[in-house]
Copies of this chain bind each other. A is one copy, B any other.
Amino acid sequence: MSKPPATEVHTTGLDDEVAALFPDVDSGVARRLIASAVRAFAERGYHATTTRHISEGAGLSPAALYVHFTTKEAVLHEVSRVGHLGVLDAIRTAAAAEPTPPQRMRALVRAFTSWHVEYHTFCRVAQYEIAALTEEHYAEIADIRRDTERFVRREIQAGVDSGDFTVPTVATAARAILSMGIDVARWYHPGRSTDPDRLVAEYADLAAAMLGVQG
């Protein structure tokens, strides 16, 4: 087993993350810029990253960023927007495919956890750097987050209403389940001795137990 790196930020596989998250970006250059920006933001933080770091990290000339993005903040906005919308879509789709509240909830937790495993570097930036967004862009991301929390709360409430769940504190349970998944972006990296499939399955079980799934 390989020794894990000394630091916390791991950007291997980032090009694959970006390719999966930006299927509509048909410019390879734009994708390389996004991957380079996420890498730089994750490694040194948004404020210490320059547009030159981003361009040169993509193997391009210093001003290349401006062909595709107006500012450094525009890249962070795009990364945050795509990340937050993507995970909301993933949990909605996962839940919709299941017939009962407990099955829907397990599918939701599996999808949410998988997302934060698969896109861990990307999520790290989307979750921890967004204080740097403009007020308008921050408000847009905050709205998507509220939609996500609301969706999880409704799914839990549906299970309480059907008698499948016994949890008395729906809003706090939603927060706890979201935190379990989001924090994966902080601690997970491929070098760790964590099997992603097992983690995803066990988190679904733990969330079900937390909600007091009956039977």
Chain A residues with CB under 8 Å of chain B are 6-9, 43-48, 127-131, 133, 135, 138-139, 167-169, 172-173, 175-176, 178-180, 182-184, 186-187, 198-199, 202-203, 205-207, 209-212
Q: In the complex, what residue of chain B is closest to A184 when comparing beta carbons?
A: B179
Helix, strand, loop or mixed for chain A's interface?
Answer: helix
Decide: A167 near B209, CB < 8 A? Known: A128-B186, A172-B203, A186-B128. Answer: yes
Question: What are the residues of chain B within 8 A of A180 when measuring CB–CB?
Answer: 176, 179-180, 183
Q: In the complex, what residue of chain B is closest to A10 when comparing beta carbons?
A: B131
Q: How many copies does the complex hold?
A: 2
Selected contact of A183 from candidates B8, B172, B182, CB within 8 Å: B182
Q: How far is the CA of A178 from the CA of B187 in the complex (A)?
A: 11
Selected contact of A131 from candidates B43, B167, B172, CB within 8 Å: B43
Contact A206 B44 (CB under 8 A): no
Q: How far is the CA of A183 from the CA of B127 in the complex (A)?
A: 11
Question: What are the residues of chain B within 8 A of A176 when measuring CB–CB?
Answer: 180, 203, 206
Contact A6 B210 (CB under 8 A): no
- Most chain B CB neighbours (cut-off 10 Å) among A138, A168, A175, A212: A175
Question: What are the residues of chain B within 8 A of A169 when measuring CB–CB?
Answer: 202, 205-206
Contact A6 B205 (CB under 8 A): no
Decide: A7 near B138, CB < 8 A? Known: A180-B176, A209-B212. Answer: yes
The 8 listed contacts between A and B (C-beta, < 8 Å) are A8-B138, A9-B131, A44-B45, A167-B206, A172-B203, A175-B187, A180-B183, A209-B210
Selected contact of A130 from candidates B8, B47, B198, B206, CB within 8 Å: B8
Q: In the complex, what residue of chain B is closest to A213 when comparing beta carbons?
A: B209
Question: What are the residues of chain B within 8 A of A199 when measuring CB–CB?
Answer: 172
